[in-house]
């Protein structure tokens, strides 16, 4: 619980108190009409948005010079909560993009999450965070890099495929110990998502041998991700698998069978 609070920037119980009050008010509403009234006191006719609160945020965003990074983060979290309730959010997108380049992790988290949820289909806005993603991936900060990679995997799309496939490939294929299996695992998942969007960036004569080498890794999570990536390539039917990979596939299939058998035996002991 403490780790989640630190991730979101909840350093104290009073942090982002306005957000907490807003969520509590919404939860205390007994009917949908009460919920809409809570967010519609500003008199907007449009009933599809949580407008009492959203109208306040809209006014705040109209004067961006008066907003700190903390304010933007707080208001973007409110927009995300309203979005999860099913309301349309048609503003605050630029502020979410700005947060992606923030230096504070809690602000960056809000920006990347809002971008993933609200702007996934907006290529023009997604294009604006490409540089932030590149910077965070190369920052040397594992948490920042993981956050950026999560965003790429969630959104995918041609914009990321065109601009980031090469950078993420280098992360996965790097022989340096500077990148942990945790980051390489995320990079592998990103590449699978991007490959399904744009597979011209994968050169089979290079990748087949490189992927074969990754099957020598000892980290189970990375092995699972590499296997998924390889299967994704085979499913597309564009490139043949390198012969050197086949022994690892047979070994991996056998290992998975043994693992599943052990897991089934464990469940039988626990449940029955």
DSSP 150-210: HHHHHH-HHHHHHHHHHHHHHHHH---TTS-HHHHHHHHHHHHHHHHH--TT--HHHHHHH
Q: Number of structural domains, the chain?
A: 1
Q: What is the CA radius of gyration of the chain?
A: 23
Tell me, yes or no, whether 246 lies in a domain.
Answer: no
Residue 225 lies in a domain: no
Q: Is residue 231 part of a domain?
A: no
Structure tokens at 116: 């993933």
pLDDT for res 43 = 37
In-domain check, residue 180:
no
**Per-residue pLDDT, 8:** 46
Domain membership flag for residue 230: no
Report yes or no on 33 lying in a domain.
Answer: yes
For 71-101, the pLDDT digits (tens) are: 999 999 989 988 888 888 888 999 999 999 9
Would you say 210 and 169 are in contact if contact means Cβ atoms under 8 Å apart?
A: no
pLDDT given for residue 112 in this prediction: 95
In a domain, 200, yes or no: no
pLDDT at position 199 is: 66
What is the residue-level pLDDT of the chain in tens, covering all 272 positions? 455 555 545 444 446 777 777 778 778 777 777 777 666 553 333 334 456 778 888 888 988 888 899 899 999 998 998 888 888 888 899 999 999 999 999 999 999 999 999 887 777 888 899 999 999 999 989 999 999 999 999 998 888 988 998 899 889 888 777 789 999 999 999 998 988 877 666 666 667 677 777 877 888 888 888 888 877 877 776 655 555 555 555 655 655 565 566 657 766 777 76
Any domain includes 112: yes
Residue 109 domain boundaries: 1-119
Ramachandran region, residue 156 (left: φ > 0; alpha: ψ -120 to 50; beta: rest):
left
User: So what's the pLDDT on residue 173?
Assistant: 84
Give me the pLDDT at residue 47, please.
38
For residue 120 the two structure tokens come to: 């996934």
């Amino acid at each position: 619980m403490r780790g989640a609070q630190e991730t979101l920037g909840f350093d104290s119980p009073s942090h982002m108190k306005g957000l907490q009050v807003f969520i509590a008010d919404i939860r205390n509403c007994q009917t949908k009409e009460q919920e809409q009234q809570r967010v519609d006191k500003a008199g907007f006719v449009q009933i599809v948005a949580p407008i009492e609160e959203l109208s306040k945020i809209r006014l705040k965003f109209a004067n961006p010079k008066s907003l700190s990074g903390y304010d933007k983060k707080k208001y973007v979290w409110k927009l995300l909560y309203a979005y999860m309730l099913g309301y349309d959010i048609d503003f605050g997108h630029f502020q979410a993009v700005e947060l992606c380049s923030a230096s504070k992790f809690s602000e960056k988290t809000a920006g990347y999450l809002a971008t993933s949820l609200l702007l996934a289909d907006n290529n023009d806005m997604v294009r604006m965070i490409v540089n932030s993603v590149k910077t965070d991936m190369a920052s040397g900060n594992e948490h920042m890099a993981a956050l950026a990679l999560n965003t790429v995997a969630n959104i995918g799309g041609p914009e990321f495929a065109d601009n980031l496939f090469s950078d993420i490939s280098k992360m996965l294929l790097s022989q340096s110990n500077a990148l942990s299996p945790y980051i390489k695992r995320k990079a592998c998942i990103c590449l699978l998502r991007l490959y399904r969007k744009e597979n011209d960036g994968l050169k089979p004569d290079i990748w087949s041998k490189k992927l074969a080498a990754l099957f020598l890794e000892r980290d189970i999570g990375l092995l699972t991700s590499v296997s998924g990536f390889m299967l994704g390539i085979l499913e597309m039917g564009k490139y043949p698998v390198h012969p050197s990979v086949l022994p690892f596939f047979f070994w991996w299939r056998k290992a998975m069978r043994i693992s599943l058998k052990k897991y089934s035996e464990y469940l039988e002991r626990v449940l029955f």
